[in-house]
Amino acid sequence: MKKIVNDPERVVQDMIQGLVTAHPGSVKQLPDTTVITRKDAPVSGKVGLVSGGGSGHEPAHAGYVGKGMLDAAVAGEVFTSPTPDQVLEAIKAVDSGAGVLLIIKNYTGDVMNFEMAAEMAEAEGIQVEKVVVNDDVAVEDSSFTSGRRGIAGTVFVHKIAGAMAEKGGSLQEVKAVAEKVIRNVRSMGVATSPCTVPAAGKPSFELADDEMEVGIGIHGEPGIERKKVATADEIAGELTDKIFTDLDFANSDVAVMINGLGATPEMELYIVNGKVQAILADQGMNVYKTFVGEFMTSLEMAGCSVTLLKLDNQLKELLDAPSTAPAFYS
């Protein structure tokens, strides 16, 4: 796999440089860290929101830093959790006295390092709460996780908790609405090709020319089943079936996210969306809003995930609230 990079060991630093210079009006890098914050952080009186994780999932997470969404994103090396000291720097940079919520995807390394950072921050007198996102219905445990993995549904947590913080919610209120999103969001994905970590230089796994991996994780962790590549309609059916088995969406208002994992043409994402929408209509669900694009990727993996979020009036209002984050628009 060819890469357009300078030095495989320096991709994260180079990426951050490129991101900050692309959006100099809205974000900044904390000097000597891999932390991106809102340019105006800390925002007086506002709860701070910090997320992050391994790099390679762009636009997650730095693309979601902005007014109405995250206050900071911490970038680890590719597919590697950021260290506790980096997370601590982010917490300190966004705390204005109202406390900080950590939004953590459920991977063992992330949970451990973010929790350690929370303890360090609390020792410095900062009030910290955390939520752990585990929206992936594919597998209960995996090579990277105890319990379910956090994948694209995390973006809805960023958006909705971010809107709640922006409108002045307290730390407990912001945490409560983040937990509500986590209870109501489910995702599952499929991959048709692997990805290559730049420093590793070879694909993380192999798939035969006619195979796909159902229930893939965003680091290429194994899913449920490896089988012949199915049609878009079959894939849409299989992913939504598994989601519906896990949570009853009947007669709900839902937000839909069709997320490309990196190399999949947008044409194919729209084709999958067409079937997903037909399935939801058949089941009596009302689609409130749909997002099609790349939100939580896995380098140049080909494939997609489907995320459904059950909405009530509060979640709709917060989902619709304005945001200046470069990678999300309502």
Rounded CA separation 173/170 (Å): 5
Coil, strand or helix: which one is 214? strand
Instruction: Report the residue number, 117 or 299, with the smaller CB distance to a copy of itself.
Output: 299
Q: How far is the CB of 254 from a copy of itself (least distance, A)?
A: 13
Closest contact distance (angstroms) between CB of 209 and a copy of itself is 7
Residue 318 CA to residue 158 CA, distance in Å, equals: 11
Q: Is 219 a catalytic residue?
A: yes
- Nearest to a copy of itself of 30, 128 (CB atom): 30
> H/E element holding 238?
helix 232-246
> Is the CB of 15 or the CB of 254 nearer to a copy of itself?
15
Contact between 101 and 131 (Cβ < 8 Å): yes
What is the Cβ-side half-sphere exposure of residue 299, based on CA atoms within 13 angstroms? 27
Count of all residues that appear for the chain in the document: 330
Give the binding site for a copy of itself (CB under 8 A).
Answer: 2-7, 11, 14-19, 21-23, 55-56, 58-59, 63, 190, 192-193, 209-210, 212, 229, 231-233, 235, 256, 258, 262-275, 277-278, 287, 290-292, 294, 297, 299-300, 302-304, 326, 329
Choosing from 23, 57, 61, 158, the catalytic residue is: 57
Nearer to a copy of itself, 170 or 231 (CB): 231
Which of 150, 303 has the CB closer to a copy of itself?
A: 303
Smallest separation, CB 265 to a copy of itself (Å)? 5
Of 23, 61, 158, 219, the active-site residue reads 219
Supply the minimum distance, in Å, between the C-beta of residue 284 and a copy of itself.
Answer: 16
> Whole-number minimum distance, CB 247 to a copy of itself, in Å?
22
Q: Is 116 exposed, middle or buried (0-12, 13-18, 19+ CB in 10 A)?
A: middle
Q: Transcribe 135-191 into DSSP letters.
A: -B-S-SSBTTBSSPPP-TTHHHHHHHHHHHHHTT--HHHHHHHHHHHHHHEEEEEEE
Residues annotated as part of the active site: 57, 219
